[in-house]
Amino acid sequence: MSGGAARQNGQTLPEVATLWIGAELDWLHQMCLASFVYHGHKVTLFHAGSDVPPVVPDGVTTRPAADIWDPAEHGHGRAPASMVSDLFRLYLLKQTETIWIDADVLCLQPFPEQPYHIGWEPSGTVNGAILRLPEDSPTLNSLIEWFEDPEFVPHWLSEAQQAKVAEAEPGKRLVTAFKLVRPSVGPRALKHTMRAKGEKRFISPAKVYYPVRGVYTDVLFNPYGGVEGSLTPETLCVHLYASMIRGYHKNHIPDPGSFMAEYAREIEFDITP
């Protein structure tokens, strides 16, 4: 096993890591990584799609994703980037003691050292944007075993969906399942398997990792507030659901008084162009 740990105020902090495929990080994703550095975590960004790593905030280490897992070598070379991300994090957890974080997760306080980091969303789904399972987790090992096979048909899909996936040409069944039901290789797989393997009790309530629903994350950019009631002393982070944030907020500096602007100031992250 590998994976480092940092210490802050006598507390041992686990390492966190994410994957970035493609071009440079925008300010929002850079701020998210910087938030973990600010709170004392060792942060690694694995990169793919280019031999040159993207520019990252001070304190973030970059490494090629192939150091952990190469999709082409495992029959998943034609998988979409988001599916590669779903698979990559499983191998990261198996090979290291790292906590997986999506690159759009904003750290509000240090993550404790504990074997499980996984949470419910307010909607009742399980999200994998923050994920840590121990090396011997039945869920982790079952998912890796199943997903090693490009022909695997997820049995948590409906019968009609399974039948449609089974009709796909050889070598494309798991990819077809992903394209048919986007969460089938990620959140839905986690929810089904955590329940089936008796690990459901380790899933934290929504207030810990997902205090703000994805459809409401624009409130983080509201200069008149509105997010404060969603955050509790137990809240470790906020998942920004970057794909759901309106383009205006991504392309403009957050207004003074908004949660994003005030938190950038708190963690000393420069959001000016």
As averages over each run of 10 residues, the pLDDT of the chain (273 residues) reads 49 93 93 98 94 94 96 88 96 97 98 98 96 98 96 96 94 94 96 98 98 94 93 97 91 94 97 83
* Residue 56 identity: V
Residue 43, C-beta contacts closer than 8 angstroms, at least 6 positions apart? 15, 16, 17, 33, 36, 37, 59, 60, 61
pTM of the model: 0.93
What's the rounded Cα separation, in Å, for the pair 219 and 163?
41
Residue 6 lies in a domain: no
Looking at residue 77, its pLDDT comes to: 86
Residue 16 lies in a domain: yes
Please name every residue paired with 117 in a beta bridge, in sequence order, or none if there are none: 132
4, two tokens = 């480092």
Q: Quick check: 267 and 38 in contact, CB under 8 A?
A: yes
Q: Dihedral sign for Cα 259, 30, 101, 146, please.
A: positive
Please count the residues of the chain.
273
262, two tokens = 């005030």
Residue 7 lies in a domain: no
Question: In CATH, what number is assigned to the domain containing residue 119?
Answer: 3.90.550
What's the rounded Cα separation, in Å, for the pair 237 and 111?
9
Q: Quick check: 123 and 210 in contact, CB under 8 A?
A: no
3-state secondary structure of 168: coil
Residue 4 lies in a domain: no
3-state secondary structure of 146: helix
What's the rounded Cα separation, in Å, for the pair 84 and 90?
10
Using CA atoms in the order 26, 32, 37, 40, what is the torsion angle rounded to 10 degrees?
180
Residue 136, C-beta contacts closer than 8 angstroms, at least 6 positions apart? none
Q: Quick check: 152 and 144 in contact, CB under 8 A?
A: no
Q: Quick check: 189 and 219 in contact, CB under 8 A?
A: no
| 14, 110, 131, 179, 227 from 230: Cα distances, Å | 25, 18, 21, 33, 6
Q: Quick check: 33 and 24 in contact, CB under 8 A?
A: no
Number of domains in the chain: 1
Q: Taking Cα atoms as reference points, which of 178, 149, 144 lies closest to residue 161?
A: 178
Looking at residue 155, its pLDDT comes to: 96
Looking at residue 1, its pLDDT comes to: 34
Residue 147 lies in a domain: yes
Look up the domain containing 203 and give its range: 12-266
